Structure 1
Amino acid sequence: MTNKEAIDSAAVRLNLNNIENSLYDSKQMFMEASGMSTTDYLMHMTDDISNEVHEKFENMVQRRCSHEPLQHILGKAYFYGHEFIVNKNVLVPRPDTEILVEESLKRLKGVNNAHVLDMCTGSGCIIISIFLSGMADRAVAVDYSEKALSVAKQNASLNNADIEFIYSDLFENVSDDEIFDMIVSNPPYIETDEIETLSDEVRLFDPMMALDGDKDGLKFYRNITEQAAGYLKRGGWLMYEIGCSQAVAVSEIMHKNGFAEVTVIKDLSGLDRVVCGKLM
């Protein structure tokens, strides 16, 4: 069997298991298993696949057929132009979340020596991307999962980002001696009863504590917003990623807790994706 035949055959199997973009996934796994670049593959696509590569590739294909996310299998994902380590302990960074980074950077323009806190950091992709933009002089990231923090620390090292990581149940272990110019968060926001309706890739392989936003999906927005004023400068911004049906509810929470200029921003699909407000 040639390299190309192996890729094509795997793509058929993936498709039969209802994997979208099956040919793309098959190629990505082959490249990882073989260590080939795209150029290498084009030069050797008609060569016979080696036993060693075939064994590695077959293991990956079986995992993908079970709907394990491609990024978990590859061990990496790309976000805002940077590579991040991902595994079962963190959510896979999504392109929609880049909107949160972009809107945060817009509001950090002109802020000198900006201090930014990322609450529920997960893989660390948000705070690391903000730090690498050069817009934050100090960057702090919080999570209640030690396993997630371990991944985030690896990602900071991988990207040469100077981030302070804090293990904490929200603000519990965050010093109240420091105030921030911005708090950014992509918290768990899926309603508990909706989790069983999610795709297999999410429902079976993403960490539950990174998904479950309690009965109405708003638990973390309430808790973070109610405490945020104690850690934000006046005029500082609170930035949230939200579920596409949560804009009105999250906006109301922010208004009730002293935030003004509350704004809803849509993603590239035209769905509500970010809510932000300024502490007055």
Structure 2
Amino acid sequence: MKSRLEMLHELSCGLRKIGLEEREAVAEARYALTFLLEVPLSELYLQGNELLSVEHEQKLQKILQRREKGEPLAYILGERYFMGLPFRVGPGVLIPRQETELLCEQAIEKIKQEHLERVLDICTGSGCIAVSIAKFSKACVYAADISMSAVETARENAHRQKVALQVVQSDLFLNVQGKYDMITANPPYIDDAAYAGLEYSVRQYEPALALRGGTDGLMFYRRIAMQAPAYLRSGGYLVQEIGYDQGEAVRTLLSEQGFAEIEIRQDYAGLDRIVWARWLR
């Protein structure tokens, strides 16, 4: 039998062999071990010489085998952390990305500053944005997604985090009612050419419905820019995640529809990541 640290090393090496960089491989190995053993990271190291059970060894080997085939760790474990919270994820639902946390943080800050009451998150996926806003603010949050799998997952994550969240199945605003102080969205924005070049694990396992934004990647931004005004209160905010090269194009779409105070904000890598706009009519 192997010790915890021996298995950590073995998993890390195995993940390096499938193309992960060392830091990412170690992080995945740590997460898999702590998840399976149900122990904090500190205990993993403090009791690193403790031997694993045969059952745990076998489960970890199966995890590595599935990763070697390209399956994302989040789908294997059925969980991904976002904003410090565990979210259930599975096939049919996009895996939350760390860069999207920046949108959440900024939205929550604005909600608190201006005491915004009603927030709608469209293209909600796992519900990571909507649930996080509900968890860390006093706003009444609503969510929508075209995928029933996503709707069910978002509802489950809301229940898991003990927050009130109304989720409807809707193609953007089709089944949405009412007006909101803020609308957030992380819509599909990968253009067709870029999608063909995505890494295998993303194309093979994550839902194309949540990734593909048409020929130029702007299909959903056009629809949102046209439809969102009908669902925003005067003075309301539209906050969207974008691809690194889409800032000016999305700015133009929003400006053409009458939005004001349009601002492109960068992520921690200095890349365009979030577009803020305000409806003042």
- Give the AA of the match of 2:91: K
Q: Which residue of 2 aligns with 1:5?
A: 6
Secondary structure of the residue aligned to 2:230 is coil
- Could you tell which deviates more after superposition, 26-35 or 208-217? 26-35
Identity %: 36
Q: Which residue of 1 aligns with 2:220?
A: 220
- Structure 2: how far apart are the matches of 1:183 and 1:36? 38
- Structure 2: how far apart are the matches of 1:57 and 1:265? 40
Mark the CA change 1:12 to 1:277 in structure 2 (over 3 Å): closer, same or farther: same
Structure 2, unmatched stretches of 5+, are none
- Structure 1: how far apart are the matches of 2:264 and 2:56? 48
Q: Offset of 1:254 from its aligned partner? A: 0.4
- Structure 1: how far apart are the matches of 2:196 and 2:186? 21
Q: What CA deviation, in whole Å up to 9, does each residue of 1:166-219 have, x standing for no partner?
A: 1011111112xx111111100000002211211223222211100010111001
- Structure 1: how far apart are the matches of 2:249 and 2:67? 37
TM-score (norm 2): 0.93
Q: Which residue of 1 aligns with 2:180?
A: 180
- Give the AA of the match of 1:12: C
- Give the AA of the match of 1:91: L
- Structure 2: how far apart are the matches of 1:113 and 1:36? 38
Q: Which residue of 2 aligns with 1:274?
A: 274
Checking the alignment, whether the CA contact within 8 Å between 2:88 and 2:157 is kept in structure 1 is yes
Q: Which residue of 1 aligns with 2:37?
A: 34
Alignment of 1:12-51 (within 5 A): 12-20=13-21, 21-51=24-54
Q: Which residue of 2 aligns with 1:68?
A: 71
Q: Which residue of 2 aligns with 1:90?
A: 93
Q: What CA deviation, in whole Å up to 9, does each residue of 1:45-94 have, x standing for no partner?
A: 33443211111111111112222222222221221222211122222211
Q: Which residue of 2 aligns with 1:208?
A: 208
Checking the alignment, whether the CA contact within 8 Å between 2:146 and 2:170 is kept in structure 1 is yes
Checking the alignment, whether the CA contact within 8 Å between 1:68 and 1:205 is kept in structure 2 is yes
Mark the CA change 1:100 to 1:36 in structure 2 (over 3 Å): closer, same or farther: closer
- Structure 2: how far apart are the matches of 1:206 and 1:17? 18
TM-score (norm 1): 0.93
Q: Offset of 1:44 from its aligned partner? A: 4.2
Checking the alignment, whether the CA contact within 8 Å between 1:192 and 1:212 is kept in structure 2 is yes
Alignment of 1:232-243 (within 5 A): 232-243=232-243
- Give the AA of the match of 1:14: L
Q: Offset of 1:40 from its aligned partner? A: 4.2
- Structure 2: how far apart are the matches of 1:39 and 1:132? 26
- Structure 1: how far apart are the matches of 2:248 and 2:164? 35
Secondary structure of the residue aligned to 1:54 is helix
- Could you tell which deviates more after superposition, 116-125 or 6-15? 6-15
Give the one of 145, 148, 151 matched to 1:146. 148
